[in-house]
Chain A
Amino acid sequence: SAVISQKPSRDICQRGTSLTIQCQVDSQVTMMFWYRQQPGQSLTLIATANQGSEATYESGFVIDKFPISRPNLTFSTLTVSNMSPEDSSIYLCSVVVGNTNTEAFFGQGTRLTVV
């Protein structure tokens, strides 16, 4: 299993500013994932972050808007850049332990409100 800590748990930000969300895992994991859950909607994968390589972004998400760092096997950050009210959402960090036939573990999420 894995225990994931996300910081901050919530924040209210002014439009045009940026917020960096941190994700710390209690064990080394190869793959870390960042999801977004907009109000009333499903979780949507933003990107996959592997240590030592650039993040892989899903369709509709770009590095300039959501830069990701993955400096080691237990830590990652997601930055939401130049925020607008449409970025108001819950952002979740997730990890998979092992390569196949395993479950994903989730952090408690960061609730972001952009005003």
Chain B
Amino acid sequence: AQSVSQHNHHVILSEAASLELGCNYSYGGTVNLFWYVQYPGQHLQLLLKYFSGDPLVKGIKGFEAEFIKSKFSFNLRKPSVQWSDTAEYFCAVKPGTGGYNKLIFGAGTRLAVHP
């Protein structure tokens, strides 16, 4: 079955520390890849997405992610986190690139950034 694994359920960092959140998926075909963020009390928002082309994708708020096809991975990175990055982060995969847009989500990583 198709699945998405996020390696860390909880991450605690100090401000200015670097962040990397792991995401691996199980699907052998072409995929679209997403990272969503949910700030406390708010709805899910898109951070960045990969459809094709350059495997290094830049998103909002200084986030980036790298698609490594051979590793079935799409890790999220940020060189220097801020307190405002405290949120829950979800990796999601859409198997295939055609019309039906079902997303498969990872379990989420809860990030806490301390000032």
Contact = CB atoms under 8 A, between A and B. Distances in A.
Contacts of B32: 101
Contacts of A54: none
A62 B96 CA distance: 25
Given A101-B32, A106-B43, A109-B43, A42 B90 contact: yes
* Interface class of chain A by DSSP: strand
Interface residues of A, number: 25
A105 B49 CA distance: 13
B28 interface: no
| Size band of the interface chain B makes with A | 20 to 34
Contacts of B108: 42
Q: Which of A4, A41, A103 has the most chain B CB atoms inside 10 A of its CB?
A: A103
Contact of B105 (A42, A99, A107): A42
B44 A92 contact: yes
B107 A101 contact: no
A100 interface: yes
